[in-house]
Amino acid sequence: MWKVKNKGTKIIYAMKEISKVKAYKKNSLTFVSEERKILMNLDFPFLANLRFSFQDNENLYLILDYLEGGDLRYYLNKKKKFSEIQIKFIIANILITLKYLHSKNIIHRDLKPENLVFDKNGYVYLLDFGVAKKITKGKFIVDSSGTPGYCSPEILLNKNQNFCVDFYSLGVIIFELIYGKRPYSGKTKKEIINELINNEIKINKNFIPKNFNESIGDFINKLLKRKCEERIGHNNIEEILNHPWLKDIDWKNIENKTYKEVPFIPKSYDNYDTKSSKSSSELKIDNYDFLLKKVNEYNFLKNFNYNYYYEKNKENLNNNLNNNQEKFKSIVSLHNKNQIDLQDNSCTMKYSFSISEDGINTIKIPNESKINCSFANV
């Protein structure tokens, strides 16, 4: 993940770089494709929304909203525990997002601290839809993908799954925010399954911190039910929103981001690990060139490019393209540094990004001759 800047607008974004060959070796190209498809159909104030997608010969790129507050995992490692008012605010943010996603029939399936990121004002955003699934209402999916420590029993055991899997993960996160550890301590999927089978978590009054409302114990217990049909939220998310522990939440002001006293404001610096892993271009993979050629022949890559700003205005433009060319140019070129070509009612766009001066790392910019999108020089 890189911090990048659009040269035309100077807007800062987060750029997710995915090596095609590495994704192929991990059998995750399908996940990348599905993540992009899901994000293209989402636009919500508490998500890191997709703004552009494109590719070069070796990598795929997703350009997302940039959030400068750092992720929840970072602060868990620093603070270990959070106060009840902080936890309640964080959980309210997540529930607002889950309500939106579930209304779109999307299950996130990988709710965990690493995928929850603060903006500079302390609001929490959800990201990473790599294992998310679109589900038909009233139906189930069966898939064992996810992070074992936060997965529901039905994911771990590869059984029927619906929206309830996200609520179980929410319970794990609340537990961790209170106690600084997850409810099940197993290091492997097998160890966690064994703990689940032998012991369902139940918090009694004596286990609740003295300065916490006792209703939080009941809330967590109902979220961590092993059987989906017994879990709170099984019928609808309103069951969760109406739980006594959340009765004093000011939902409207959180949704509008007008909350007067946000209980946790992240620092604007030192909130990311600067020790990044090596660029995918440095990976040593046998038969790399052969595999890369094979991947680049996949049909789904031919339509990988996406521009949110163009799609948002496409319907109006298509109604009367000739009379709206100037408007079209002003909208799209603003986000593409005037690199635009109008031909026969179709639009070919080039993307121009550069690494911010205060970026986390230095990205190796490919030669422009190698790629079908235009990168700025650093």
CATH of the domain at 101: 1.10.510.10
State whether 143 and 228 are in the same domain.
yes
**Would you state the structure tokens that stand for residue 282, as one six-digit string?**
């440095």
Confidence band for 268, pLDDT divided at 50, 70 and 90: low
Contact (CB, 8 A) for 218 and 207 = no
Where in the sequence is the domain holding 288, given as residue range(s)? 2-67+279-370
Q: Exposed (0-12), middle (13-18) or buried (19+): which is 313, by Cβ within 10 Å? A: middle
Task: Give how far Cα 83 sits from Cα of 168, 210, 223, Å.
Answer: 21, 11, 20
pTM strictly above 0.95:
no
270 found inside a domain: no
State whether 229 and 361 are in the same domain.
no
Query: What is the mean predicted confidence (pLDDT) over 57-61?
Result: 92
Of 111, 110, 75, residue with least CA distance to 265: 75
Of 120, 131, 191, 209, residue with least CA distance to 165: 131
Does position 364 have pLDDT exceeding 70, yes or no?
no
* Domain final position from 221, 255, 289: 255
Decide: helix, strand or coil at residue 146.
Answer: coil
55 found inside a domain: yes
Cα 17 to Cα 29: distance, rounded to the nearest angstrom: 13
pLDDT at 339: 33
State whether 185 and 162 are in the same domain.
yes
State whether 91 and 62 are in the same domain.
no
Q: Supply the mean pLDDT for the chain.
A: 81
State whether 84 and 59 are in the same domain.
no
pLDDT at 359: 35
Cα 345 to Cα 352: distance, rounded to the nearest angstrom: 23
Residues known to be catalytic? 110
Cα 172 to Cα 231: distance, rounded to the nearest angstrom: 13
Confidence band for 371, pLDDT divided at 50, 70 and 90: very low
Tokens 């911090």 appear where?
Answer: 3
Cα 375 to Cα 377: distance, rounded to the nearest angstrom: 6
Decide: helix, strand or coil at residue 214.
Answer: coil
Query: What is the mean predicted confidence (pLDDT) over 267-277?
Result: 54
Confidence band for 329, pLDDT divided at 50, 70 and 90: low
Q: How many domains does the chain have?
A: 2
Q: Round the CA-based radius of gyration of the chain to a whole number and report it.
A: 22
Of 88, 241, 250, residue with least CA distance to 173: 88
Cα 239 to Cα 209: distance, rounded to the nearest angstrom: 25
Query: What is the mean predicted confidence (pLDDT) over 194-210?
Result: 89
Cα 249 to Cα 201: distance, rounded to the nearest angstrom: 26
Contact (CB, 8 A) for 150 and 73 = no
Confidence band for 372, pLDDT divided at 50, 70 and 90: very low
pLDDT at 188: 87
State whether 241 and 288 are in the same domain.
no
Does position 343 have pLDDT exceeding 70, yes or no?
no
Q: How many CB atoms lie within 10 A of CB 8?
A: 18
State whether 56 and 148 are in the same domain.
no
